Amino acid sequence: MRAMTTVRTSPPLTAPVEDYLKAIFEAESAGGAAGTNEIAAMLGIAPASVSGMIRRLAEQGLIAHERYRGVRLTKHGRREALRTIRRHRVIEAYLTEALGYPWDRVHEEAERLEHAASDELIDRMAEAIGEPATDPHGAPIPTREGTLDDDEDALVALASVEPGSRVCVQRVGDRDPRQLRYLAELGIMPGREIVVLEHAPFDGPISLRVGRAVRAIGAGLAGQILVRR
């Protein structure tokens, strides 16, 4: 096993700070600056609680805040957000591949463990399972160097795919265990090829061929499944 060379040159961030940076990163990835109400909704807290933390994050150089325009991560803030995201996604992958956890249980476990695990431990976990490129739900894992090979711009929501198209599932949301169990029952998981058969009108169900079976899912759920044409 090769030697690990991870080095920290700044004090560790607190768990709440890491959660804020992750939320802001996700909001930015969805498009534009993150607003106070959006951050509060993502973290499940009151908007009034966000304002004070925003000021502290700006004082630490982790975010840039423009009044009435929302917040964005600085270069330093983005690097720290990606470190936390790497820990989370490597833990999910390790729990699934090395310990046999089902994919609907790893998100909550990773939420608890990501703040306590050292970078060295995360690096060793990733090495032990072959340096996976994605987590069990298809989300890309940032590298040790803090880069993210995210080709989400090349992906489309399953709900927007025209009938007759063959696509490959790339990524699904990881926050709802019931939804993950349902998708697993249908066989709709990252790496699976499916054929879109029909869109019912007025936001009705979408018919799919998954293997030899014909399945139907709602348009809302199909909008949360990212695929590659």
Ranges in the chain annotated CATH 1.10.10.10? 1-148
CATH for the 1-148 domain, from 1.20.1640.10, 1.10.10.10, 3.30.9.10, 2.30.30.40: 1.10.10.10
pLDDT higher than 60, residue 6: no
Report residue 33's pLDDT band, with 50, 70 and 90 as the boundaries. confident
pLDDT higher than 90, residue 32: no
Fold of 154-228: SH3 type barrels. (2.30.30)
Ranges in the chain annotated CATH 2.30.30.90? 154-228
Instruction: Give the angle 37-39-45 at the CA atoms, nearest 5°.
Output: 80
pLDDT confidence of residue 7: 44
pLDDT confidence of residue 11: 67
Strands (E), 114-188: 156-157, 166-171
- Give the residue from 181, 207, 227, 22 showing the smallest Cα distance to 114: 22
Q: Is 149 exposed, middle or buried (0-12, 13-18, 19+ CB in 10 A)?
A: exposed
